[in-house]
Amino acid sequence: MKYGIGFLFCLLMLAMACQTPKTENQSNGEVDAQGEVNPNGDSELAIVMRAMHDHGKQLRAELEAGKTISPYPQLIQTINEATPTDGMIDDHRVFEGFSAHYLSKLDSIYLQGVNQKLQFNNMVSSCITCHQEYCHGPIPAIRKLYLAQ
C-alpha cells in the first residue's frame, strides 16, 4: 500500500511533467488570424501576414455586399522589409518574387473597370501559391477567402 501511493504520486508527477508548457501567447489568450494560438511567435512578417488576411476578409465581405472596397493598410507594403520567422525563408529573392506578384494582384483589385471579384480571387491564389512554398499552415484559412463566381 505504501509503495502503491508512492507509485501513483510518481505517475501523476510524470504525467504533469510531460504536458506541453503554455507559451506567453497561450497564457495571455492571444490568438492568430485562424483563431488558434500562434506556435511561432510574432515575427514582423507574421504580423504583416495577419494584416493581409484581415484585409482579405474585409474585402471579401465588401465585395459580397456590393460595397465600395476600402483601401488596404499601408503595413502590407512592408512585406519585403518585414523580418520573417526564423528558418521560414531561405532565399529572400524568391520570396520577393511571390510578394511582388501578390502586391500586383492586390493593386489590380482597385483598378477601374475590372471584375473585382475575379481580381480578388487572383490575389487569393497568389497567397496560396506562396504558402505552398513557405509555411503551409495558413492555406486552409486562405482558401476560405475565395469568392463564389
**Spatial contact of 56 and 145, defined as CB atoms under 8 Å apart:** yes
Q: Which of 81, 96, 89, 98 is nearest to 134 (CA)?
A: 89
Nine-digit cell at 80? 519585403
Indicate if the pLDDT at residue 99 is higher than 70: yes
User: Within its chain, how far is the Cα of 14 from the centroid?
Assistant: 35
Indicate if the pLDDT at residue 86 is higher than 90: no
Indicate if the pLDDT at residue 149 is higher than 90: no
Indicate the pTM of the whole model: 0.72
pLDDT single digits (tens) 35-65: 554 665 689 999 999 999 999 999 999 999 9
| Section 125-140 average pLDDT | 93
Give the dihedral sign, CA 72/130/95/34: positive
Q: Quick one: pLDDT at residue 38?
A: 62
Computed over every residue of the chain, the mean pLDDT equals 81
Q: Quick one: pLDDT at residue 12?
A: 38
Place of cell 523580418: 83
Strand spans (E) along 12-87: none
